C-alpha cells in the first residue's frame, strides 16, 4: 500500500470520514485478526478483540503519530486490549472461586426483580431511541432479534466488518447516553 495514500486516508479518518475508516478497516483487519488468532488460538475471541481494536483505534485516531507505522500502532492497541481481557478473566475466575466456596444461592428472580428488569428495559428502549436510526437498527438486530454479525450484514447489505464497527460504535454511544441520564 502506498504510504502517501495511507497517510491521506489517516488524515481523512482524523477528520471523521467514514469512508476513510472503512478503508483502514478493510486494509488492516486481516493483520490485526491474524495477530490475535495466533495469540488466542480462538477465532471468536480473536474477532472480538479485533473489533474492539478498531473501535478503540477509531476513537483515538487523533492521537496517532505518523512517525510510527499505522499497523504497528493498531497491533499495540490490540495487544493491550488482549492483556486487559486476560487480567479481567483472571479477576473473574478468582471471584467465581470465592463465590463457589460460599453457599449456592437461589437466583430465581423475585416479583420485585422482574418489575425492576421490566422498568430498566423500558428505560433502555427510550435511551436507544436517542441514537441515530442506523445505530438503533444495528442494536435492535443484534440484541433484540439476536441476529449474528453475518445475518445483520446480509440484512443491511453491508460488509460484516462495517457491521461490527457500527455495533461497537452504537454500544459506545449508548453507554455515553446512559451515563449522562
pLDDT tens per residue, range 57-108: 998 999 998 888 999 999 999 999 999 988 888 877 766 666 655 555 556 7
pLDDT at 36 over 80: yes
How far is Cα 14 from Cα 60, in angstroms, rounded to an integer?
9
How far is Cα 112 from Cα 116, in angstroms, rounded to an integer?
6
Q: Which of 4-18, 91-105, 118-132 has the lowest mean pLDDT?
A: 91-105
Where residue 169 falls among pLDDT bands split at 50, 70, 90? confident
Q: What is the dihedral of CA 167, 63, 83, 29, to 10 degrees?
A: 50
How far is Cα 175 from Cα 59, in angstroms, rounded to an integer?
14
Measured CA to CA in angstroms, residue 167 lies from 23, 92, 113, 172 at distances of 18, 25, 29, 9
Measured CA to CA in angstroms, residue 114 lies from 104, 117, 128, 138, 166 at distances of 21, 5, 21, 26, 31
152 Cβ contact partners less than 8 Å away, ≥ 6 residues apart: 138, 141, 142, 163, 167
- Going along the chain from its start, the domains and CATH numbers come out as 1-105 (1.10.1740.10), 109-181 (1.10.10.10)
How far is Cα 74 from Cα 28, in angstroms, rounded to an integer?
8
Phi-psi region of 110 (alpha: psi -120 to 50; beta: other; left: phi over 0): beta
What's the pTM?
0.56
What is the pLDDT at residue 1?
65
Mean pLDDT, the chain, integer: 85
What is the pLDDT at residue 96?
64
3-state helix, strand, coil in the chain (%, to 5): 80, 0, 20
Share of the chain above pLDDT 90, in %: 33
pLDDT at 18 over 90: no
What is the pLDDT at residue 92?
73
Amino acid at each position: 500500500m502506498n504510504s502517501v495514500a495511507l497517510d491521506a486516508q489517516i488524515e481523512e479518518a482524523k477528520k471523521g470520514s467514514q469512508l476513510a475508516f472503512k478503508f483502514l478497516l478493510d486494509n488492516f483487519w486481516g493483520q490485526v485478526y491474524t495477530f490475535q488468532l495466533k495469540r488466542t488460538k480462538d477465532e471468536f475471541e480473536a474477532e472480538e478483540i479485533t473489533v474492539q481494536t478498531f473501535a478503540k483505534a477509531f476513537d483515538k485516531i487523533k492521537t496517532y503519530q505518523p512517525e510510527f507505522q499505522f499497523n504497528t500502532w493498531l497491533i499495540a492497541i490490540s495487544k493491550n486490549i488482549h492483556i486487559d481481557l486476560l487480567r479481567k478473566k483472571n479477576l473473574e475466575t478468582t471471584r467465581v472461586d470465592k463465590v463457589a466456596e460460599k453457599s449456592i444461592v437461589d437466583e430465581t428472580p423475585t416479583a420485585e426483580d422482574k418489575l425492576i428488569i421490566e422498568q430498566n428495559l423500558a428505560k433502555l428502549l427510550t435511551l436507544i431511541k436517542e441514537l441515530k436510526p442506523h445505530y438503533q437498527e444495528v442494536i435492535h438486530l443484534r440484541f433484540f432479534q439476536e441476529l449474528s454479525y453475518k445475518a445483520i450484514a446480509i440484512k443491511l447489505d453491508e460488509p460484516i466488518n462495517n457491521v461490527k464497527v457500527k455495533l461497537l460504535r452504537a454500544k459506545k454511544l449508548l453507554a455515553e447516553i446512559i451515563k449522562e441520564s
